[in-house]
Amino acid sequence: MNRARLVRIIGTYGVLIALAALVVFGFLRYDRFLSFYNVMTLLRYNSMFALVALGMCFVIMTGGIDLSVGSVAALGSVASALASPYGIVPGLAAGIGAGLVAGLINGILVTRANLMPFIATLATMQAASGSALLLAGNQTVSVSYESGFTAIGQGSLWTFPIPAAIAALAYLTGSLVLNYTGTGRAVLAIGGGEDASRLMGLRTDRVKSLVYLASGGLAGLAGVILASQFGAGQPIEGVGWELFAIAAVVVGGTLLTGGSGSVVTTLAGVLLLGILFNVLNFENGMGWISLSAYWQSVIRGLFLLTVVLLQARLTRRRLGAL
Amino acid sequence: MTRPPDGPSPLLLDIRDIQKRFAGIPALVDASLSVRSGEVHALIGQNGAGKSTLIKVLTGYHRKDAGQVLFEGKPFEVHSPHQAQVNGISTIYQEINLVPLRSVTENICLGREKRRYGLLDWNAMHAEAERLLSRFSIGMDVGRPLGEFNTATQQMVAIARAIGFSARLVIMDEPTSSLDEREVGVLFGVIRQLKAEGVSVIFVSHKLDELYEVCDQVTIMRDGRTVRNAAMEEIGKLELVAAMLGRDVAAVEGHATAFGERDRSRIGDVMFSARGLGAGQAVRGVSFDLRRGEIAGFAGLLGAGRTETARLVFGADRANAGEMTMEGSNYNPQRPADAIVAGMGFCTEDRKGEGIVPEMTVAENLTLALLPKISRNGVLDEQRQREVVQRFIRELGIKCSGPNQKVRELSGGNQQKVLLARWLAMNPKLLILDEPTRGIDVGAKGEIQRLIRGLADQGLGVLMISSELEEIIEGADRIFVLRDGVSVTELEAEDANEEKVLTAMAHGTSASSEAAT
């Protein structure tokens, strides 16, 4: 019983342990790893991925998938860059709005047209990517530096990066919604058994539409931050973001089949992947070895695989003990 | 306005002349059902009689094509289970429809969460779940995932959820199929409580004894029609069965099962034996012999380790203790393929999950395991497939429109026959049947039972697991009683009676050991 409990805790919070271990490793090995500058840069850069992963987390918990997040973010960045001359609010509204539209379409395709989420969001992914290029006229769109729009990505609250604060707020809300609202519980119930949930009287279609809408909106918001941080709307950015997000969610212990998951550990998953990247850069900086970007990809892949395998073993043992 | 002229309690539900077709095929032709307040109403009929469809129409899962539903005297039109729930009709479906990954509390409280300051109040919800479960005298950690508990407990949770909705009508579709006797007793206690509170219950069951124990009124359906409505005390068991089958009373008299007479002389020497089989907590020492032409019955309560033992024999799980021999040589299967090579077949208890492939045709399902044998160089020999399929459809009397009908569309009994045929086509020496007649209507049940006896008479060794005492006592030539993963008693059929088997099953078993982990 106690052992089972321990296993469950490791299964759920394994990612936190891995994260702590990686931070300690970095701290011991690299002088400036925990320096103020490095930490803040890390948070600022990864906040976009964190937002995308949060939406993905909810979608995956219903047993779905959203492949469109990367190109929706790109579309959001272009839309917000175009609106940036009018100020912060129009910029934000344009980016998030573009994302919401994409999310709404995903939701309709999945619930009304009964398409598999994989196919539906694959289609949206293509369409959003094309729309971004069309809207941007096949080039990056400079943002306005006069309207204050760049503060969203580049500014700080006292010393804390604004995008990181936005992500933190989003995660706090996400965690509350998941754990303390009926909708949040319904998300997990649907992932655990959609037909059962429907027979239990849950409004499954509404909840599913909602998660795709949220995922789209969050991807749009990530796009706003992207444009603001790098000073331009980037129609060809966002490639592979969906895979990063899926990886972060899965490393965070959320079941890819749905029904079980956590917002907090998803954030830990994002940080884990982000810090791993950071550590590899430091390692290169040490001058002992020089890892090309390709090797870094290989190492990240292997690391991801290790964490997921460990987690799968623990989870299987947990469920196997039924 | 719909007060009945004769009865004291008002009519709560009045369903009239419901019609429903699926893809042109009529499922309900002329279904009616009236339930009074505070009444426990039995709804019975063979599989395919339309009980489940009628329930799903009532709860808004399906839309009716014609007919009228009055609930509390007013027309009742719902389009989703959610609406039905809100309007006071709560349903427990035949297959437990809960979410195993989520906690017991969530499964009970989803859809009517308790809130505080607009957010979920977990403490209150846990307390509510515990309160509802306490009616069933179940104490459990409601924060743990539902899937960690055994089927019976899950069933109780489903029932607790349904009555927690302060419903005026609770529909229970075969709620007792996974409960043991003690748990059935607890459930009946709850039903009587509900009745006392004025809540009506529609109770669907294949077990006739149960109906007489708790029900006031019975409605019998056949072929999508309501054929009889009577007070429970006014109708005899035989009459019930006759009405369900649409046959004369005389035709169903006699034995409770249809296994027929044993022919001891056909039983040969020992073919398979197991000594001290063990695997984890579920199986902790099971020994038995199986002879040619013999039906060995495994009796035991839920969780006694019967299915688990069968899985070890079939190589679906691996034993970590004990020895097995098959036809005199050591037998140690690593996977089901080994067991199949050794001449075994296994019809699982979970027909839908592990047996049939619903979307495939009768022919495809039937020859699934046989494919390598009827293929030449990897190409299916369709002529041979057709022969095999035709033969078994004929021999087993599988009722289908033809080999190309989807198995999904067949009744439970015919699905079971397809499964049986799949293994028989392999020409096995030993067949393991896990609950071969569960969830199958009376008529088809008899056919399956006769079939099993016939197979044994042809020299097949049959290992039959059944939770129905009559089936074990009348069907098996030799009975092994399992208790808590140990084979505790072996009885020759001639010496066996209900009392002996029940005593062996119950003696020393504690109810708490049934609870998960």
DSSP state of B65: S
Separation CA B429–CA B363 (nearest Å)? 23
Give the model confidence (pLDDT) of A144-160 as tens digits: 888 889 999 899 988 89
- The shortest CB-CB distance from B120 to any of A1, A180, A259 is to A180
Is the CB of residue A191 less than 8 Å from the CB of residue A45? no
Give CA separation, B396 vs B15, B276, B391, B451, B509, in Å: 38, 36, 8, 7, 39
- Give mean pLDDT, residues A79-97: 95
Please check the confidence at residue B517 and state whether its pLDDT lies above 50: no
> Can you give the pLDDT at residue A127?
96
B221: phi then psi, degrees, rounded to nearest 5? -115, 150
Separation CA B193–CA B212 (nearest Å)? 17
> Can you give the pLDDT at residue A8?
63
Please check the confidence at residue B208 and state whether its pLDDT lies above 70: yes
Q: Hey, what are B375's tokens?
A: 């293929």
Is the CB of residue A260 less than 8 Å from the CB of residue A191? yes
User: Nearest to residue A258, comparing CAs of A58, A83, A120, A60?
Assistant: A60
- The shortest CB-CB distance from A180 to any of B82, B110, B119 is to B119
Point out which residues pair with B69 in neighbouring strands. B15
DSSP state of A116: -
**A 224-263 → B contacts, CB under 8 A:** 255, 259-260
In percent, the amount of chain A with pLDDT more than 70 equals 92
Q: For chain B, say whether A139 makes contact (Cβ under 8 Å).
A: no
- The shortest CB-CB distance from A189 to any of B82, B86, B102 is to B102
Cβ contacts of A322 on chain B, cutoff 8 Å: 147-148, 516-517
Residue with the larger pLDDT of the pair B198 and B111: B198
Closest-approach residue (CA) in chain B for A2: B517
Alpha carbon of residue B232 to chain centroid: 23
> Can you give the pLDDT at residue A316?
55
Give the model confidence (pLDDT) of B306-327 as tens digits: 989 999 999 888 898 999 999 9
Residue with the larger pLDDT of the pair B250 and A245: A245
Closest-approach residue (CA) in chain A for B78: A201
Cβ contacts of A180 on chain B, cutoff 8 Å: 119-120, 122
Cβ-defined contact of A182 to B110 (cutoff 8 Å) = yes
Distance from CA of B119 to the nearest CA of A (A): 5
Cβ atoms within 10 Å of B459's Cβ, excluding its own: 14
Cβ-defined contact of A1 to B517 (cutoff 8 Å) = yes
> Can you give the pLDDT at residue B500?
79
Cβ contacts of B161 on chain A, cutoff 8 Å: 200
What residues contact B41, with CB distance under 8 A and at least 6 apart? B33, B35, B200, B201, B202, B203, B215, B216, B217, B218, B219
Separation CA A238–CA A246 (nearest Å)? 14
Give the model confidence (pLDDT) of A219-258 as tens digits: 999 999 999 999 999 999 888 899 999 999 988 888 888 8
Interface of B with A (CB under 8 A): 61, 80-82, 84-86, 91, 93, 97-102, 106-107, 110-111, 113, 119-120, 122, 147-148, 161, 516-517
> Can you give the pLDDT at residue A322?
31
Q: How confident is the model at residue A314 (pLDDT cuts 50, 70, 90)?
A: low
Q: How confident is the model at residue A4 (pLDDT cuts 50, 70, 90)?
A: low
Q: How confident is the model at residue B140 (pLDDT cuts 50, 70, 90)?
A: confident
Q: How confident is the model at residue B510 (pLDDT cuts 50, 70, 90)?
A: very low
Q: How confident is the model at residue B506 (pLDDT cuts 50, 70, 90)?
A: low
Q: How confident is the model at residue B219 (pLDDT cuts 50, 70, 90)?
A: very high
Please check the confidence at residue B432 and state whether its pLDDT lies above 50: yes
Cβ contacts of A319 on chain B, cutoff 8 Å: 147
Q: Is the dihedral of CA B450, B451, B452, B457 positive or negative?
A: positive
Cβ atoms within 10 Å of B515's Cβ, excluding its own: 16
Cβ contacts of A176 on chain B, cutoff 8 Å: 119
Residue B283 one-letter amino acid: V
Q: Tell me the ipTM for this assembly.
A: 0.72
Cβ-defined contact of A322 to B147 (cutoff 8 Å) = yes
Cβ-defined contact of B120 to A179 (cutoff 8 Å) = yes
> Can you give the pLDDT at residue B3?
44
Please check the confidence at residue B253 and state whether its pLDDT lies above 60: no
Q: Hey, what are A182's tokens?
A: 């009926």
> Can you give the pLDDT at residue B488?
87
In percent, the amount of chain B with pLDDT more than 70 equals 91
Cβ-defined contact of B84 to A201 (cutoff 8 Å) = yes
Distance from CA of A1 to the nearest CA of B (A): 8
- The three-point CA angle B157-B177-B251 to 5° equals 155
User: Nearest to residue A56, comparing CAs of A269, A200, A237?
Assistant: A269
Cβ contacts of B91 on chain A, cutoff 8 Å: 199
Cβ-defined contact of A188 to B100 (cutoff 8 Å) = no
Please check the confidence at residue A143 and state whether its pLDDT lies above 80: yes
Separation CA A155–CA A160 (nearest Å)? 8
DSSP state of B511: G
> Can you give the pLDDT at residue B256?
62
**DSSP string computed for B360-423:** SBHHHHHTTTTGGGGEETTEE-HHHHHHHHHHHHHHTT---S-TTSBGGGS-HHHHHHHHHHHH
Separation CA B511–CA B240 (nearest Å)? 33
E-strand spans in A139-295? 141-142, 156-157, 160-161, 232-233
Is the CB of residue B193 less than 8 Å from the CB of residue B135? yes
Residue with the larger pLDDT of the pair B19 and B377: B19
> Can you give the pLDDT at residue A320?
38
Q: What CATH number does residue A34 fall under?
A: 1.10.3470
Cβ contacts of A7 on chain B, cutoff 8 Å: none
Residue matched to tokens 């049934």: B514
Cβ contacts of B84 on chain A, cutoff 8 Å: 201
Separation CA A298–CA B112 (nearest Å)? 48
Give the model confidence (pLDDT) of A32-68 as tens digits: 888 999 999 999 999 999 999 999 999 999 999 999 9
> Can you give the pLDDT at residue A95?
96
Please check the confidence at residue B23 and state whether its pLDDT lies above 80: no
Least confident window among A126-130, A313-317, B202-206, B512-516 = B512-516
- The shortest CB-CB distance from B101 to any of A201, A203, A259 is to A259
Cβ contacts of B82 on chain A, cutoff 8 Å: 201-203
Give CA separation, B278 vs A244, B264, B319, B327, B509, in Å: 45, 31, 6, 21, 18
Q: For chain B, say whether A197 makes contact (Cβ under 8 Å).
A: yes
Per-domain residue ranges of chain B? 11-101+165-252, 350-427
Mean pLDDT of chain A: 88
Cβ-defined contact of A201 to B82 (cutoff 8 Å) = yes
**A 200-229 → B contacts, CB under 8 A:** 200-203
Q: How confident is the model at residue B1 (pLDDT cuts 50, 70, 90)?
A: very low
Domain that holds residue A289: 2-320
Closest-approach residue (CA) in chain B for A201: B82
Cβ contacts of B80 on chain A, cutoff 8 Å: 198, 201, 203
Please check the confidence at residue B419 and state whether its pLDDT lies above 70: yes
Cβ-defined contact of B81 to A199 (cutoff 8 Å) = yes
B241 exposure class (CB count in 10 Å sphere: 0-12, 13-18, 19+): buried
Structural domains of chain A, count: 1
What residues contact B430, with CB distance under 8 A and at least 6 apart? B271, B272, B290, B326, B343, B344, B345, B460, B461, B462, B463
> Can you give the pLDDT at residue B201?
94
Closest-approach residue (CA) in chain B for A260: B101
Alpha carbon of residue A77 to chain centroid: 16
Q: How confident is the model at residue A319 (pLDDT cuts 50, 70, 90)?
A: very low
Give the model confidence (pLDDT) of B164-181 as tens digits: 877 899 999 888 767 777
3-state SS of B441-496 is: CHHHHHHHHHHHHHHHHCCCEEEEECCCHHHHHHHCCEEEEEECCEEEEEEEHHHC
Exposure letters A274-313 (e unless 16+ CB within 10 A, then b): bbbebbbeebbeeeeeeeeeeebeebbeebbeebeeebee
Residue matched to tokens 């027309």: B75
> Can you give the pLDDT at residue A11?
63
Residue matched to tokens 């046959």: B247
> Can you give the pLDDT at residue B509?
38
Cβ-defined contact of A179 to B97 (cutoff 8 Å) = no
Q: CATH for B11-101+165-252, among 3.40.50.2000, 3.40.50.300, 1.20.140.10, 3.30.460.20?
A: 3.40.50.300
Is the CB of residue B428 less than 8 Å from the CB of residue B345? yes
Separation CA B480–CA B310 (nearest Å)? 13
Count of CA atoms in the C-beta half-sphere (13 A) of B401: 9
Separation CA B197–CA B310 (nearest Å)? 44
Q: pTM of the predicted model, to two decimals? A: 0.68
Cβ atoms within 10 Å of B260's Cβ, excluding its own: 15
Size of interface A-B (CB pairs under 8 A): 84
Three-state SS at B275: strand
